[in-house]
């Protein structure tokens, strides 16, 4: 029986990102993927939001995606575009990039990290015990792993086999999306009516991208050319001579979220943990960010530097994020499928979003730049993404995200050097003495007071901020990165306290 530290079920965006994060930490990880190659039929997701671009920048690979996509203002709410060009980020924009291209580029990075992908196989079940998980594959073989992560989509076999409930809302509408040829010129662009949202777009090779809401809800996963023709006629009175489809698929506005992101040694991420209507383009982005939150935590547990309880913070932090995504997508779905009464509400919301404060709040929410993990009281940075500051160090100029390229935590000291003995954690936390000139600013919150030092997690979120003499610093280090080796610690603490998961 082949053994891996972690088996990832599913080689889509979430599974690939998670495998890359684990590989950076030196974890033996393998992906099980049903496709024979990374080729993907249809376009699916069409782009990245600002925070996802930042996450890729934190790993030094953002330029790979930026060079293949088109920078654009992609944030929006129910059809109202929300400009983030004035936001305090190095990437105040989104990126128009089809999922099939995103996956191809990401898979190239994962291949460089030597992650094996077991293709043309699926996880069909598992049995876990106190020491690990036996993962059954569709070819009859079994893998042994310390942990199994289900990144296998909305119909996740892993989630079902784990017995994790998937509560939420039943679908009220269904939509067909296709790449086809048309014999007649359609009405290009996006169109909304009482039935829902419809669109025609020009694609490469003479293909037309078609989006059409069906007259009646259909929950079948497969879709046919006949059903597409029928749906077009119901909306437009003609099917425009639709023929020669290269892809046809169906999605609904069903909104569900896993009741737990973890069952023992089995975890969920991406669509396996949450599904919703794709309005706002938040699904892929939420999944990739799930992976970045989970990867370093799982790596530390596999490496034995942190207790198993650290995994509880994955659910505590990411479940509320996806719950908010479900909430805003449900609201948007209602607004783009309006009756005359609801259309009036939509007009009022559109008017509100032209105002500065609502525009900033909603744009930060959709783009993922305002995500705040509840790590307790403290500095405004606590639990939020660390700004990508320009820094001056003894080795020359750099910036915060460059310090995170190897997915290793950083204690960034902006005061006098020598105020803290990092040696008990030197094998896992990097201490960087630096200076920064300029203001500190966060989306929505605006300017904030610059702390003397910050402890930055591998996912780019701040675990602690304050003075190096603060007795909370050793506690934060122990909580998030394990107990240090015995040593004297400046600031009045002799040995770090026992770790325990911090609330949130």
Tokens of 249: 């698929």
CA–CA distance, 5 with 147 (Å, rounded to integer)? 7
The span from the CA of 434 to the CA of 342, in Å, is 53
The pLDDT of residue 186 is 96
CA angle centred on 230, ends 226 and 235, rounded to 5°: 150
Alpha-carbon gap, residue 261 to 68, rounded angstroms: 33
- The CA distance from 291 to 273, in Å, is 12
Which helix H or strand E contains 3, and what residues bound it? strand 2-9
Question: In this structure, are residues 257 and 286 in contact, taking their beta carbons and an 8 Å threshold?
Answer: no
Q: What is the 3-state secondary structure (H, E, C) of 191-253?
A: EEECCEEEEEEECHHHCEEEEEECCCCCCCCCCCHHHHHHHHHHHHCCCCCCEEEEEEEEEEC
Q: Find out whether 176 and 212 touch, Cβ atoms under 8 Å.
A: yes
- Cα within 13 Å of Cα(260), Cβ side: 14
What band does 42 get if pLDDT is binned at 50, 70 and 90? low
* Mean pLDDT value across residues 39-51: 81
**pLDDT (tens digit, 9 = 90+) per residue, 430-489?**
999 999 999 999 999 999 999 999 999 999 999 999 999 999 999 999 999 999 876 533
Q: Round to whole Å and give the CA distance between 210 and 190.
A: 10
Number of H helices, E strands in the chain: 12, 29
Model confidence pLDDT, tens digit, residues 379-437: 999 999 999 999 999 999 999 999 999 999 999 999 999 889 999 999 999 999 999 99
CA 166/CA 139 separation, integer angstroms: 28
Q: What does the angle CA 56 – CA 23 – CA 387 come to, to the nearest 5 degrees?
A: 30
Give the pLDDT score at 227.
Answer: 97
Indicate the range of 7-11, 43-47, 458-462 predicted with least confidence. Answer: 43-47
In the predicted structure, residue 155 carries a pLDDT above the cut 60: yes
| DSSP letter for each residue of 379-390 | -TTBTBBPP--E
Q: What is the mean pLDDT of residues 16-39?
A: 96
494 pLDDT above the threshold of 60: no
Q: List beta partners, residue 201.
A: 209
| Cβ count near 207 (within 10 Å) | 18
State mean pLDDT over 144-156: 97
Residues in the chain: 504
pLDDT of res. 125: 97
> Which residue shows structure tokens 């603060």?
470
The token pair that represents 439 in the structure block = 């203001």
- The pair of three-digit structure tokens given for residue 401, joined into one six-digit string: 């995200």
The pairing of strands 123-129 and 132-137 is: antiparallel
Cβ atoms 314, 293 nearer than 8 A: yes
Written as six digits, the tokens of 220 are 């079948």
pLDDT in tens, 64-119: 999 999 999 999 998 899 999 999 999 999 999 999 999 999 999 999 999 999 99
CA distance 151 to 34: 12
| Whole-Å CA distances, 316 to 195, 207, 259, 319 | 38, 44, 11, 6
The residues near 75 (Cβ < 8 Å, ≥ 6 apart) are 49, 50, 81, 82, 83, 84, 94, 280, 363, 366, 367
pLDDT at 34 over 90: yes
Overall average pLDDT of the 128-145 stretch: 97
pLDDT score for 498: 35
Structure confidence by residue, pLDDT tens digits, 244-301: 999 999 999 999 999 999 999 999 999 999 999 998 899 999 999 999 999 999 999 9
In the block, residue with structure tokens 């993404």 = 385
So what's the pLDDT on residue 342?
A: 83
User: How many Cα atoms sit within 13 Å of 26 on the Cβ side?
Assistant: 7
β-strand pairing of 80-81 with 76-77: antiparallel
Give the whole-angstrom CA distance, residue 82 versus residue 367.
10
| Percentage of the residues of the chain whose pLDDT score is greater than 90 | 85
pLDDT at 500: 36
368 backbone φψ class: left, alpha, beta (φ>0; ψ -120 to 50): left
Q: Mean pLDDT for the chain?
A: 93
Work out whether strand 430-433 and strand 255-257 pair parallel, antiparallel, or are unpaired. Answer: unpaired
Average pLDDT value for residue range 129-153: 97
Residue 285: which region, alpha, beta or left (left: phi > 0; alpha: psi -120 to 50)?
alpha
- pLDDT above 90 for 305: yes
Q: Among candidates 279, 272, 129, 113, which has minimal Cα distance to 192?
A: 279
Of the pLDDT bands very low, low, confident and very high (cuts 50, 70, 90), residue 43 is low
CB 196 within 8 A of CB 160: no
């Amino acid at each position: 029986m082949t053994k891996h530290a972690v088996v990832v079920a599913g080689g889509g965006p979430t599974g690939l990102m998670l495998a890359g994060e684990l590989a950076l930490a030196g974890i033996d990880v393998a992906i099980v993927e049903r496709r024979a190659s990374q080729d993907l039929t249809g376009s699916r997701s069409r782009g990245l939001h600002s925070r996802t671009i930042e996450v890729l920048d934190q790993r030094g690979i953002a330029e790979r995606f930026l060079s293949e996509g088109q920078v654009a203002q992609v944030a929006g709410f129910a059809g109202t575009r929300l400009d983030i060009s004035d936001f305090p980020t190095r990437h105040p924009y989104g990126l128009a990039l089809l999922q099939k291209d995103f996956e191809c580029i990401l898979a190239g990075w994962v291949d460089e990290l030597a992650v094996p992908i077991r293709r043309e196989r699926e996880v069909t079940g598992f049995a876990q015990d106190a020491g690990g998980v036996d993962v059954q594959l569709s070819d009859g073989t079994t893998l042994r792993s310390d942990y199994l992560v289900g990144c296998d989509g909305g119909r996740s076999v892993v989630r079902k086999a784990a017995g994790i409930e998937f509560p939420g809302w039943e679908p009220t509408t269904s939509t067909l999306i296709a790449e086809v040829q048309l014999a007649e010129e359609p009405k290009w662009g996006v169109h909304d009516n009482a039935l829902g949202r419809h669109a025609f777009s020009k694609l490469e090779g003479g293909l037309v991208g078609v989006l059409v809401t069906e007259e009646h809800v259909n929950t079948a996963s497969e879709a046919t050319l006949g059903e597409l023709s029928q749906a077009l006629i119901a909306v437009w009175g003609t099917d425009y001579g639709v023929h020669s489809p290269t892809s046809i698929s169906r999605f609904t506005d069903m909104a569900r979220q896993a009741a737990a992101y973890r069952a023992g040694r089995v975890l969920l991420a991406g669509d396996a943990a949450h599904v919703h209507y794709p309005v706002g383009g938040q699904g892929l982005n939420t999944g990739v960010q799930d992976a970045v939150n989970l990867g370093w935590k799982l790596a530390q547990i596999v490496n034995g530097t942190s207790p198993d309880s650290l995994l509880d913070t994955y659910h505590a932090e990411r479940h509320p994020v996806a719950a908010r995504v479900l909430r805003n997508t449900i609201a948007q779905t209602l607004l783009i499928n309006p009756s005359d009464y609801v259309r009036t509400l939509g007009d009022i919301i559109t008017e509100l979003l032209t105002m500065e404060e609502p525009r900033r709040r909603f744009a930060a929410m959709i783009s993922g730049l305002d995500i705040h993990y509840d790590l307790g009281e403290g500095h405004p940075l606590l639990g939020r993404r660390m700004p990508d500051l320009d820094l001056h160090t003894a080795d020359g100029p750099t910036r915060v995200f460059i310090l995170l390229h190897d997915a290793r935590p950083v204690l960034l000291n902006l005061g006098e050097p020598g105020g803290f003995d990092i040696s008990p954690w030197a094998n896992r936390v990097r201490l960087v003495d630096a200076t920064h000139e300029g203001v500190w600013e966060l989306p929505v919150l605006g300017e904030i007071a610059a702390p003397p030092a910050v402890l930055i997690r591998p996912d780019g979120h701040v675990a602690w901020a304050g003075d190096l003499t603060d007795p909370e610093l050793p506690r934060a280090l122990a909580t998030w990165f394990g107990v240090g080796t015995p040593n004297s610690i400046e600031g009045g603490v002799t040995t770090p306290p026992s770790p325990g998961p911090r609330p949130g």
